[in-house]
Amino acid sequence: MACYLLSSIVIGLWANRYVGNLSDYLVAGRKLRLRLALATMTGTELGLITVMYMAELGYKQQYASLYLAFIEAGAVLLIGMTGFVVYRLRESSVMTIPEYYEKRYSSKVRVVGAIVMVLSGVLNMGLFLKAGSQFLTAISGLQDEMSLKLIMTGLLLLVLFYTVLGGMVSVVITDLIQFLILGTGMVIVTVVVFWSIGWDGFAAIVTEQNGYFNPFDSHNPSGKGAGIGWLNVIEMVVVMGTAAMLWPTSAARTLSCQSAAVAKKLYTLSSVSFLARRALPVFWGIGTFAFFASQPEMMDEFQKTVDAKTNASITSLSAMPLFLAKVVPTGLLGLVTAGMIAAFMSTHDSYLLCWSGVITQDIVAPIAGPMSQRSRILVTRIAIFVIGAMLLIWGLWYEVSGNLWSYLATTGAVYFSGALPTVVGGLYWKRGSQTGALAAILGGLFGLSAMGPCVTRINHLFSSNVNGTHLILVTFAFSAVLYILGSLMFPDKTEQGKPVGLNSPT
C-alpha cells in the first residue's frame, strides 16, 4: 500500500516533464489512444463512491437495483455505436463543454453554463470523502474519528499533489495503474463473494428472504429500503442517458482522445466498464443482504446501530465493507483495500482537474480578459487546491437524507437538465438561440429543490406529497421547454450564418 501511494508522488513529479502547454495540462494534448482512454475513463467513473452507493442499493433493493447497470450500459453502447453528440463534440476541438457553448451561442452562455456546471459538480463530489471514510471505517475497524479524518485528508493531499503537478498527463498515468489494481481487486472480490455465499445462498433470496426483483414494481418486499417503480425508472433513463453523453469528466476523456473515431470506439468499449462498475458492486450488495439475512441476530444488531444513528460512520453504506471484512481472507483484504483506495484516488484526481479546468477556462479567463497559457495553468492549480479545501468542509458537515445515489442524481441533474437541451439543441437544431440556452441552464437550478431538506420544506409549505423523482423530472421538462420557447421567441440575430454542430454529422 505504501509503495503504491509513494508511486503516485513519483508519477506526479515525472509527468510534470510532459506538460508543455495548456492543452497538455487539461486534455493530455488530445493524444490519447484507445486503451489509455479506456483505462482513464474506467478509472475515473469506477470510483469508490460508485462501489459504495451501488453496493448500498444492492443491499437495500437486491436484484432490482441492477436496472441501473442495464440502463447506463445500454445508453453508453448506443452512443458508442451512433456517435451521438460525442463525435461532434470531439470534432469541434473544444477543451471543455462550456467552450462549446461559446462557439455555438455566446461567451455569456459559456460563463453562466460553467458556473452552474461547477456548482453542480462540486456539490456532487462533496460526499466522496465521507463515503470513502465510511468504507475505511467498516473494512479496517478503525473507530477513532480524528485518525480517520487525518487519513482521508492525507489521501486527498496526495491526489492534489500529483494532479496539480502533472494535470491530465499524471491523471491518465495514475488512472492506468489504478484501473489495473482496482480491476483486479473487483474481480477477486466478486469471486470471494460468490464463493462465500454460494449458489444456495443467492437462491435463498428468491425462496426464503422475499428478495426484490422487479424494478417496475414500486413495492420492495425485502423491507430493507424504498421501492423503485416506473417513474423512478423513467427518471434514471433521463438522468443516466444524459450523464453518459455530457458528464464533464467523461466528456473530458472524449475531448482528450486522438480523434473523433477513437472517441466513438471509446464509448462502445466503455459500455462494458460501465456495466461492470454498477453490476459487480450490486452483486456484492446482494451478497451482503444474503449474508446478513442468513444471520438474523447480526442483521438486527447492524440495523439497530444504523437506526439509532449513534455512530455517524455506520450507515447502510457500511453494510458491504463490513461483510467484506468478514469474508475476505486477511491477505487479500489488503489488496482489496488498495484497490478501493485506487478507485477513490482515480475519481478524485479527474474530478478535481475537470472542475478546476472549467473554472479557469470558462469563468476566470472570459471575465478577466486575455490570459497567457502559463497564467491559466497557475489559476487551474490554485482552483484544484480551493476545491480540495471545499470538499473537506462539505464532506464533514452535510448529512445525506435518503440514499447516496439519490443525492448524486439530484446534484447531477442541476447541470444535466440545462446542458441536455443546450448541447443537443446546439448540435442538431439550427434555431437554438443564446436566450434559449441561458434560460435552460438557469432553469436547471430548479433541480436544487429535489435535495432532501428542500423537498421536506416544499411539502411542509404546500402540504404536498412530492418527492425528488417528481422534482427532477419536472426540472428536465422545465429546462427543455425554456430552451425551445426562448429560442423561438428570441432568435439569435446571426442565426442564419451560425454553424450548427461545427462539423459534419457522423
Partner 1 sequence: MTIWMTIWTILLITSGLAFLVVLAYVAFGVKAELIETLNDLKADVNESQADEDILDRPIK
The answer to whether residue 279 forms part of the interface with partner 1 (CB under 8 A) is yes
The answer to whether residue 493 forms part of the interface with partner 1 (CB under 8 A) is no
Residues 444, 415 contacting (CB under 8 angstroms): yes
3-state class of 257 per DSSP? strand
**Cα 453 vs. chain centroid, distance in angstroms?**
22
Please choose, out of 1-9, 175-183, 462-470, 474-482, the segment that lies near partner 1 by the rule CB under 8 A. Answer: 175-183
Q: How far is CA 475 from CA 41, 314, 440, 469, 471, in A?
A: 28, 33, 10, 10, 6
Tell me the C-alpha distance between 228 and 67, whole Å. 10
Tell me the C-alpha distance between 190 and 278, whole Å. 12
The least distance separating partner 1 from the CB of residue 433, rounded to whole angstroms, comes to: 23
The answer to whether residue 34 forms part of the interface with partner 1 (CB under 8 A) is yes
Among 6, 20, 488, 489, the residue binding partner 1 under the rule CB under 8 A is: 20
Please choose, out of 5-13, 58-66, 90-98, 326-334, the segment that lies near partner 1 by the rule CB under 8 A. Answer: 58-66
The answer to whether residue 184 forms part of the interface with partner 1 (CB under 8 A) is yes
The answer to whether residue 82 forms part of the interface with partner 1 (CB under 8 A) is no
Tell me the C-alpha distance between 428 and 423, whole Å. 8
Among 26, 32, 49, 290, the residue binding partner 1 under the rule CB under 8 A is: 32
Residues 487, 433 contacting (CB under 8 angstroms): yes
| Residue whose CB is less far from partner 1, 128 or 179 | 179
The least distance separating partner 1 from the CB of residue 496, rounded to whole angstroms, comes to: 25
The least distance separating partner 1 from the CB of residue 82, rounded to whole angstroms, comes to: 20
Angle (CA) 315 453 71, round 5°: 65
Among 6, 35, 81, 464, the residue binding partner 1 under the rule CB under 8 A is: 35
The answer to whether residue 186 forms part of the interface with partner 1 (CB under 8 A) is yes
The answer to whether residue 188 forms part of the interface with partner 1 (CB under 8 A) is no
Tell me the C-alpha distance between 348 and 103, whole Å. 29
The answer to whether residue 280 forms part of the interface with partner 1 (CB under 8 A) is yes
By CB under 8 A, how many residues form the interface with partner 1? Answer: 52
DSSP 47-77: -HHHHHHHHHHHHHHGGGGGHHHHHHHHHHH
The answer to whether residue 51 forms part of the interface with partner 1 (CB under 8 A) is no
Tell which residue, 53, 96, 55, 117, has the closest CA to residue 408.
53
Which H helix or E strand runs over 187? Answer: helix 145-207
Tell me the C-alpha distance between 303 and 243, whole Å. 33
Among 57, 75, 111, 275, the residue binding partner 1 under the rule CB under 8 A is: 275
The least distance separating partner 1 from the CB of residue 461, rounded to whole angstroms, comes to: 40
The least distance separating partner 1 from the CB of residue 387, rounded to whole angstroms, comes to: 24
Please choose, out of 1-9, 182-190, 341-349, 386-394, the segment that lies near partner 1 by the rule CB under 8 A. Answer: 182-190
The answer to whether residue 273 forms part of the interface with partner 1 (CB under 8 A) is yes
Q: Facing residues of 257 across strands?
A: 32
Q: Is 112 exposed, middle or buried (0-12, 13-18, 19+ CB in 10 A)?
A: buried
Residues 225, 49 contacting (CB under 8 angstroms): no
The answer to whether residue 385 forms part of the interface with partner 1 (CB under 8 A) is no
378 CB-near residues (< 8 Å, 6+ apart): none
The least distance separating partner 1 from the CB of residue 418, rounded to whole angstroms, comes to: 25
The answer to whether residue 190 forms part of the interface with partner 1 (CB under 8 A) is yes
The least distance separating partner 1 from the CB of residue 339, rounded to whole angstroms, comes to: 12
The answer to whether residue 283 forms part of the interface with partner 1 (CB under 8 A) is yes
The answer to whether residue 374 forms part of the interface with partner 1 (CB under 8 A) is yes
Residues 12, 6 contacting (CB under 8 angstroms): no
User: Within a 10 A sphere around the Cβ of 499, how many other Cβ atoms?
Assistant: 10
The least distance separating partner 1 from the CB of residue 234, rounded to whole angstroms, comes to: 19
Residues 378, 25 contacting (CB under 8 angstroms): no
Tell which residue, 243, 245, 177, 297, has the closest CA to residue 409.
243
The answer to whether residue 39 forms part of the interface with partner 1 (CB under 8 A) is yes
Extract the C-alpha cell encoding 375: 497564467
The least distance separating partner 1 from the CB of residue 34, rounded to whole angstroms, comes to: 8
The answer to whether residue 367 forms part of the interface with partner 1 (CB under 8 A) is no
The answer to whether residue 289 forms part of the interface with partner 1 (CB under 8 A) is no
- Positions touching partner 1 (CB under 8 A) are 17-21, 23-24, 28-29, 31-36, 38-39, 42, 63-64, 66, 69-70, 73, 169, 172-173, 176, 179-180, 183-184, 186-187, 190, 206, 213-214, 269, 272-273, 275-276, 279-280, 283, 369-374
